[in-house]
Amino acid sequence: MKKTRRDKDPFDLVIFDCDGVLVDSEVISCAAHAETLTRHGYKITADQVFDRFLGRSMRQASLEVEAEMGRSLPDDFHAQVYAEIFRLFAVSLQATPHVDEALAAIALPVCVASSGPPEKISASLNRVGLWDRFAPHIFSAVQVRNGKPAPDLFLFAAAQMQAAPARCLVIEDSLAGIAAAVAAGMPVLGFYGGSHCRPGHGDRLRAAGAVAVFADMRQLPDLIARIGQKPGFVAGFSAL
């Protein structure tokens, strides 16, 4: 695949979500989250976790659950969830198919901006061999006040990478992530090729504000090139 960098490329940075974009982890994470919540008296399925909390931080999800239950979850609840996630990651986590090939063809600067805590991001990317491709440009929702769908994390990542928001392109798989990118003033591509994505997920991502959607990482370099060829795209964020 040819590198996509061009002298007049409208983007200075590509910001990747981690779970469900770089690693095919959402089925694992949703199942672990649902099992731990149910064990503590809040009955919920993995599908319901997907619908309600995909792309959002554990902190936000827990606050919502606690408000509904009228009581606090255990102090070590997050540690319990992540212990189960890490156990499953160690035996079953895989990189998103063809993501290495796509990254190799993108000459633009890249970074990661994930709702997960640093230890989860590290476990994910190290497990599939992608940590060195991004480090040290890896940012977590714990570094900002408000997680996705607020724009804080993407704006923080752009500032750390010294890129103007309008010249950043975000790659996301969740509705919360799409909303966060739109709120940050960044064009966003919606990825719906993860094993967690249901029929129609791509349409939902587009309806939420993605300028284009794709299901195969091999499509990403060409999508970036096509966006760059559209006159005035960055100013208008029009759909492809």
Q: Which domains, from first to last, does the chain contain?
A: 13-25+94-236 (3.40.50.1000), 27-92 (1.10.150)
Nearest-CA neighbor of 55 among 231, 212, 199, 182?
Answer: 182
Model confidence, pTM: 0.84
CA angle 125, 98, 219 (to 5 degrees): 120
* pLDDT tens readout for residues 214-233: 999 999 999 998 886 664 55
Determine contact, residues 81/58, Cβ cutoff 8 Å. yes
Q: Per residue in 10-59, pLDDT tens?
A: 799 999 999 999 999 988 988 999 999 999 999 999 999 988 998 788 88
* pLDDT tier, 8 (very low <50, low <70, confident <90, very high otherwise): low
